[in-house]
Structure 1
Amino acid sequence: MPTVALSTALPAASGWRGDAGHVQSLPEVNSTVAVPTGGLWWRRLLAFAGPGYLVSVGYMDPGNWATDLAGGSKFGYTLLSVILLSNLMAILLQALAARLGIATDRDLAQACRATYSRPVNFMLWLACEAAIIACDLAEVIGTAIALKLLFGIPLVGGALLAALDAFLLLLLMNRGFRFLEAFVIALLIVIAVCFVVQITAAAPPVAAVLGGFVPSRQIVTNPEMLYIAIGIIGATVMPHNLYLHSSIVQTRAYPRTEEGRRDAIKWATTDSTIALMLALFINAAILVVAAATFHKTGHADVAEIDRAFELLSPLLGLGIASTLFAVALLASGLNSTVTATLAGQIVMQGFLDLRMPNWAQRLLTRGIAIVPVVVVAAIYGDSGTAQLLVFSQVVLSMQLPFAVIPLVRFVSDKRKMGAFAIPMPVAAAAWIVAGVIVILNVKLLIDTFFG
């Protein structure tokens, strides 16, 4: 298969500092995936397919499960419209992250380092590391809970086993970036199949499900429903995904020319949009199963993963239902920890221009996340990890504006993006989305600490 000829020159836009010393994002895999120069459109789509699925993992990680379960069990199908809205926001933001990476040969962390002062960059790095650690906490907890439900492994042991994914990431990356993408996509298929079986068993009324995607005034007027809706939006858009996506789109060997970049942006956006529609299905499926199983039978208080596991099989009348739920959770936790560990490496390299070995960076990132889980699980047990899960989502909410606002600012700036700067209508929509996310997350924080 013919592949493109690469140029190592940076884009012509002049709004960045340090072009002379610029280092590729994830240099060990940058421009390593071949892209056909012509042929059928679906071959080009397949060549670009992959990064979007790694990103979509963050939109269906264990941190989202609690809000989806709570929304479905308490309010039926009403909050499906909120899942749809948050997914549309995610599609726009991830498209902007892909555009930034392809148009500038920089990931979001590198773009920040080439724009802001050293103290500002250091604070942004600290905030982003806190978010990645918080995200890791949720994923390690989810993996540990799944191992406990499936195999009876204590939470402490499950958390320690979750640390092994750092070695799994090293193994997959050494085989090539396509192996990592294939692993992630395989686990996504497992999650999707598990929920297809559960939805089939739950047999929700189609009219009620479709009606749930229509926004309801009740979401705004009912304070409790509004709180869960804010939680769904706040837990959906993950800040580390913006850093991750802007880096891994550069693994494709597209021509580093204006025409080549424009074509790559088109296919990368298509890839992420399709992948995020899968994330929409998974999140909606969790809520639909909760609504059809728990809300329908009067179990409106099911908001924790363990409780959902206990009730699924008896209420659905399907012995394998609870096992499928736990298998999907395990696949989600494994996927999420792998991608979050990779995002940690991108952020550390991008903000600090750090020259640590890749294995050392990944082990450091995993160790920082696993230690709190092990300590809390050992001292407080299940209840402590549940509180830690909530705390992790609060930390994520606090960091989100520090990723979204620089991203929208960069892609709107013609000095930095040149011909690839987004048009005014798209910029207006992006700023509105950024504003909504910031406002809702601020409200979520206020309600969490003072409500």
Structure 2
Amino acid sequence: MSKKSLDEINGSVVVPSVYEKSFFKKFLAYSGPGALVAVGYMDPGNWLTSLAGGSRYKYQLLSVLLLSILVAMIMQSFSIKLGVASRLDLAQAISVRVKRPARYLLWLLNEIAMMATDLTGVIGTALSLKMIFNLPLMWGVILTIFDVFIVLWFMRFGIRRIEVIVVIAILMVGMIFAIEVGHVHPALVQILQGFVPDKSIFTDQDKLILSLGIVGATIMPHNIYLHSSLAQSRRYDYHDFRQVKETLRFANWDSIVHLWAALIINCLLLILGGTVFFKKSDQLASLMSVFQGLNNTAVVGNLANPIMSYLFAFALLITGLISSITSTLSGQIVMEGYLHIKLPLWQRRLLTRAITLIPILIIGFVVNFDERIFENMIVYAQVVLSIALPFTLFPLIILTNDPKIMGRLVNKRWQTIVGLCLVLIITVLNIQLIVSTF
């Protein structure tokens, strides 16, 4: 087994000394891994649930989005702490503490989860290519196999430049949705009211189920594995406790800032759905219907504009492409950590994408590449991720509570209690999401 998680990037980014006074300089040096993780909070599954929440309940579920991202920040902080304190990613830390059958079972479960993550990116990219170029879905799906070359091209520049590219991509997506929301003139007071939780979320069965879907689509296993590894990309002296604590501090700042960016983008999507498609949810059955509806006067009246449609499609294409980077790195972490097998990145990418494409193409030919059925596959991918999530979060909390692994950074009792309670709540919510889906 490789001694280091993601050998190619581990300890590759130089950071300032602990004696450096400038907070901003240190923040910039540590900033980046949070952006790669934030991409996972903006995938097509989040797009669908946010748009559906807006179209059915206007801005009332903004509070659910806010709560979801706050919980995500807590879970990512445990992941960061594990990586910084133990110099192991989550897969490595679990692997050395379980017997071989359990290790293989956990690998298989997480490998399926990684493929489900990859599936949402494939479908999102294929849909965006159909929107922009009217390319048949079959060819769009097949073309996604070539994004391995995009990933390899990015990897040539090192992790620091990849982080910059991803930050720019996130800013572009955020600007696109800010333009779209500005174009439709939402009611600011109602938006602010939407961030205040309403008791109807718990009393209205349909609203509760959709809220569960939003929570279930937010936290995903691959982000937990990814962050525990990327936190080690900074070159810090792990024998110097002061620098370890500083690394942990700034890694958390990086995570918080970029997760807030992901929250803003998801809120903009919900606001877009709530402003343009409220009480028209029957006309918002899919991402494709949003693209078509934004340019249809019969649906959105004088707000219809072809530029808005194509900006929406372009944002979907960007998120699909950059998610390829994160899903590749996550898959590499899981395979190396659990199986102790190290594959070249291009082989890992081709393997994951080829296995992902097989069921997509089979289902595609069976249903004649029906767009709505394709997007339903995103929903079922969320179910797979929901099943895998407890097997990621419970070990994470248990490991960070082990002083042999964490040393002086072991969880305080209240942190473990809060962490376990949140994981139990997330697990119950995901079970409810699975039941409601079927």
Q: Give the TM-score band, short-chain normalised.
A: over 0.9
What does residue 228 of structure 2 align with?
Answer: 246
1:367 aligns with 2:349: no
CA distance in 1, matches of 2:33, 2:6: 13
1:343 aligns with 2:330: yes
Following superposition, the deviation at residue 31 of structure 1 comes to 0.6
Q: TM-score w.r.t. structure 2 length? A: 0.95
CA distance in 2, matches of 1:342, 1:416: 24
Which of 358, 381, 393 is 1:392 aligned to? 381
The aligned amino acid for 2:206 is E
CA distance in 1, matches of 2:344, 2:186: 50
What does residue 331 of structure 1 align with?
Answer: 318
What does residue 312 of structure 1 align with?
Answer: 294
CA distance in 1, matches of 2:436, 2:171: 36
CA distance in 2, matches of 1:374, 1:216: 43
Change (3 A) 1:414 1:350: same
The aligned amino acid for 1:34 is V
1:283 aligns with 2:263: no
What does residue 206 of structure 2 align with?
Answer: 224
CA distance in 1, matches of 2:422, 2:147: 34
The aligned amino acid for 2:85 is A
Alignment of 1:65-144 (within 5 A): 65-144=47-126
Which of 406, 411, 417 is 2:400 aligned to? 411
Which of 410, 431, 436 is 2:420 aligned to? 431
Following superposition, the deviation at residue 22 of structure 1 comes to 6.2
CA distance in 2, matches of 1:169, 1:86: 29
Which of 27, 40, 46 is 1:58 aligned to? 40
Following superposition, the deviation at residue 165 of structure 1 comes to 2.1
CA distance in 1, matches of 2:306, 2:112: 40
Following superposition, the deviation at residue 235 of structure 1 comes to 0.6
Following superposition, the deviation at residue 371 of structure 1 comes to 2.1
Deviation digits for residues 137-171 of structure 1 (CA, Å, limit 9, x no counterpart): 11100110011001111111111222222222222
Given that residues 156 and 373 in structure 1 are in contact (C-alpha distance below 8 angstroms), is that contact kept between their aligned partners in structure 2?
no
Task: Find the residue that maps to 2:424 and give its secondary structure.
Answer: helix
CA distance in 1, matches of 2:168, 2:354: 26
Task: Find the residue that maps to 2:97 and give its secondary structure.
Answer: coil
CA distance in 2, matches of 1:318, 1:147: 19
* RMSD across aligned positions (CA): 1.3
Structure 2 gaps, min length 5: none
Deviation digits for residues 307-365 of structure 1 (CA, Å, limit 9, x no counterpart): 11111234223331111111111111112122111110111011111032232122111
Which of 21, 33, 43 is 2:13 aligned to? 33
**Post-superposition, which runs of at least 4 consecutive aligned residues in structure 1 deviate over 4 A?**
none
1:270 aligns with 2:257: no
CA distance in 2, matches of 1:447, 1:319: 36
CA distance in 2, matches of 1:407, 1:24: 19
What does residue 299 of structure 1 align with?
Answer: 280
CA distance in 1, matches of 2:137, 2:365: 8
Task: Find the residue that maps to 2:231 and give its secondary structure.
Answer: helix
Task: Find the residue that maps to 2:277 and give its secondary structure.
Answer: helix
The aligned amino acid for 1:383 is R
CA distance in 1, matches of 2:306, 2:179: 12
Given that residues 151 and 324 in structure 2 are in contact (C-alpha distance below 8 angstroms), is that contact kept between their aligned partners in structure 1?
no
CA distance in 2, matches of 1:105, 1:402: 21
- Farther off after superposition, 259-268 or 410-419: 410-419
CA distance in 1, matches of 2:243, 2:290: 48
Task: Find the residue that maps to 1:162 and give its secondary structure.
Answer: helix
CA distance in 1, matches of 2:372, 2:285: 13
Given that residues 57 and 279 in structure 1 are in contact (C-alpha distance below 8 angstroms), is that contact kept between their aligned partners in structure 2?
yes
Task: Find the residue that maps to 1:216 and give its secondary structure.
Answer: coil
Given that residues 63 and 195 in structure 2 are in contact (C-alpha distance below 8 angstroms), is that contact kept between their aligned partners in structure 1?
yes
Deviation digits for residues 237-295 of structure 1 (CA, Å, limit 9, x no counterpart): 01110000100111111112222211100000000000000000011110000001110
Given that residues 286 and 372 in structure 2 are in contact (C-alpha distance below 8 angstroms), is that contact kept between their aligned partners in structure 1?
no
